[in-house]
Structure 1
């Protein structure tokens, strides 16, 4: 395990976003205004789709409201339980070149509109992902050695308690987009 902080999440395809927002509002969650996020995902040279993501490093370059952030995630227990390091950068093009120089290659572009809310220790994200539709993510930042699967069970239990139609996904957006493109959706 790790002594650092891990981002652990669960993700769901959402049939009726308005019903989800109402259910969360009833629990005290107030969503932010929507923001547009333009993400370029990267994988380390030598990794390819079909291989396990556990233990591999992945990078992301995000632009939101004219600000750019660089993030490296390393899935630990599963794709949605990662050690994560993120920082703001000044130039997207320059950072893209640096990421390539570090031995990463671009995989998928993920463009989405995101609304967020905080509830207890959870960050709630309602995403409209271009080419995929509506998704709901619940993220928790966890320190210590608590197993990711246990945290994900707790987050899933919360999601199910909302009593709205949700279809759980264990894949990241880049994998979902790649799968959608391969079947022509």
Structure 2
């Protein structure tokens, strides 16, 4: 395997936010103040919702607190175990035009308010997503040679250990927003 970082995550629909916040607090996790993230997702030409994402490159432009981040993800084991590259860009609109010129097309816009914390190398995000509700996202970078699926199992064990009513979600936010906004 190359030296690329594999970002591995698990997501859950949160049924009781106060219970989740209390459980995280008991573990010593302090969540940040809320930050608004405005994400535009892009897919390669020829890909559409419902097709497999494995091995397909996706892009995202995120604006957060006046900064613009450009991210490219390539799902490996599943949609939430990806090779990921990210950099800050100066001009969101120019980057948007460049992404389109590279053959990508805009898919969905995901707007969320995110609070973050960390525990033992795991990134913990509590996200309130427009049109969807509240979610918990746990993320960790897999070590070289480490299976993304095994990392997901460990993250899931941690989530279950919180003792909170959570529903594991295997879709990405862009797929969930797409489903919610096209069926409405």
Q: Alignment partner of 2:82: what SS?
A: strand
1:153 aligned onto 2:156: no
Tell me the equivalent position of 2:130: 130
Gaps of 5+ in 2: none
Q: Post-superposition shift, 1:2? A: 4.7
Following the alignment from structure 1 to structure 2, what is the Cα–Cα distance between the partners of residues 116 and 179?
Answer: 26
Deviation by residue 1:85-111 (Cα, 9 ceiling, x = unmatched): 000000110010000011100000000
Deviation by residue 1:20-53 (Cα, 9 ceiling, x = unmatched): 1110111010000000000000001111111110
TM normalised by structure 2 equals 0.98
Q: Alignment partner of 2:76: what SS?
A: strand
| Pairing of 1:48-59 with structure 2 (within 5 A) | 48-59=48-59
Following the alignment from structure 1 to structure 2, what is the Cα–Cα distance between the partners of residues 93 and 5?
Answer: 27
Following the alignment from structure 1 to structure 2, what is the Cα–Cα distance between the partners of residues 146 and 2?
Answer: 12
1:113 aligned onto 2:138: no
Q: Post-superposition shift, 1:182? A: 2.7
Q: Alignment partner of 1:171: what SS?
A: coil
Following the alignment from structure 1 to structure 2, what is the Cα–Cα distance between the partners of residues 4 and 179?
Answer: 31
Tell me the equivalent position of 2:176: 176
Following the alignment from structure 1 to structure 2, what is the Cα–Cα distance between the partners of residues 4 and 69?
Answer: 18
1:83 aligned onto 2:70: no
Mapped contact 1:39–1:62 kept (Cα < 8 A)? yes
What's the Cα RMSD here?
0.9
Tell me the equivalent position of 1:162: 162
Tell me the equivalent position of 1:11: 11
Following the alignment from structure 2 to structure 1, what is the Cα–Cα distance between the partners of residues 2 and 133?
Answer: 34
Gaps of 5+ in 1: none
Q: Alignment partner of 1:77: what SS?
A: coil
Q: Post-superposition shift, 1:146? A: 1.5
1:70 aligned onto 2:62: no
Tell me the equivalent position of 1:22: 22
